[in-house]
C-alpha cells in the first residue's frame, strides 16, 4: 500500500463533489479523506496499491452529477494510517 495525495481542479466545490467521492470511496473500501482547499481545489488522500489506483482516479474523475473535473494531479506521500474514508473540514 502507498499513500497518494490528489489535487483535483475544476468545478469541484459547492456541487456535492466531496460527498460523492466520500460515498463512492467508502463503498469501494478505500481509506483516506477528501477536503476542500481555500483556492477552490479539492484534496484527496488515500491508501492505494497499484491495482486500485486507476479505480480511485476514476471515482475522482466521475465526481458528482454537478461537478466538472478538469485536472487531477497526484503524488506519493508519507504513509498515513486511516481506519476509514472521511470528509475533512
Q: Which of 9, 31, 36, 88 is catalytic?
A: 36
CA torsion through residues 62, 64, 65, 69, sign: negative
Q: Which of 18, 31, 39, 52 is catalytic?
A: 18
53-62 and 17-28 helices, crossing angle to 10° = 150
36 is catalytic: yes
31 is catalytic: no
Please say whether the beta carbons of 71 and 10 come within 8 A: yes
- Residue 24, phi then psi, degrees to nearest 5: -70, -40
Mind telling me the catalytic residues? 18, 36
Amino acid at each position: 500500500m502507498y499513500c497518494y495525495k490528489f489535487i483535483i481542479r475544476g468545478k469541484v466545490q459547492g456541487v456535492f463533489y466531496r460527498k460523492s467521492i466520500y460515498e463512492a470511496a467508502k463503498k469501494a473500501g478505500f481509506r483516506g479523506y477528501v477536503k476542500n482547499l481555500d483556492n477552490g481545489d479539492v484534496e484527496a488522500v488515500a491508501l492505494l496499491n497499484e491495482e486500485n489506483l486507476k479505480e480511485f482516479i476514476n471515482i475522482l474523475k466521475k465526481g458528482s452529477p454537478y461537478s466538472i473535473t478538469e485536472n487531477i494531479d497526484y503524488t506519493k506521500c508519507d504513509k498515513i494510517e486511516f481506519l476509514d474514508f472521511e470528509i475533512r473540514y
